[in-house]
Amino acid sequence: MSSIQVDQVGPYLWRIPPDARPGMRVPAFVVADAGLMAHLRSDASLQQLANGATLPGIVKGAYAMPDIHQGYGLPVGGVVATDAEHGVISPGAIGFDINCGVRLLATPLAEDAVTPRLRELVDALYRAIPTGVGSKGRLTLDARETAAVMADGARWAVAQGHGLAEDVQRIESDGSLAGAAPDRVSPQAIERGRRQLGTLGSGNHFLEVQVVDEIFDAEAAAAFGVRAGQVTVMIHTGSRGLGHQVCTDFLRSTESALKRYGITVPDRQLACAPVDSPEARAYLGAMRAAANFAFANRQVLTHWTRGVLLDVLGVAAADVRVVYDVAHNIAKEEEHDVDGRRRRVFVHRKGATRAFPGQPVIVPGDMGRYSFLLRGSEVAMRETFGSTCHGAGRLMSRTAAVKAARGRRIVDELAARGVHARATGRDALAEEMPEAYKDVKDVVDVVHRFGISTRVARLRPIGVIKG
Instruction: List the catalytic residues.
Output: 390
DSSP track, 271-302: --EETTSHHHHHHHHHHHHHHHHHHHHHHHHH
**Residues contacting residue 390 through CB under 8 Å, at least 6 positions apart:** 65, 67, 77, 102, 326, 328, 351, 352, 353, 363
Rounded Cα gap, residues 268 and 260, in angstroms: 14
Report yes or no: 92 and 72 within 8 Å, Cβ to Cβ: yes
Contacts 24+ apart (CB under 8 A), 108-117: 108/230, 108/315, 108/319, 108/320, 109/230, 109/231, 109/313, 109/315, 110/229, 110/230, 110/231, 111/211, 111/229, 111/231, 111/462, 113/231, 113/313, 114/209, 114/231, 114/313, 114/462, 115/462, 117/312, 117/313
User: Partners of 336 in the beta sheet?
Assistant: 343
Pairing of strands 76-83, 341-350: antiparallel
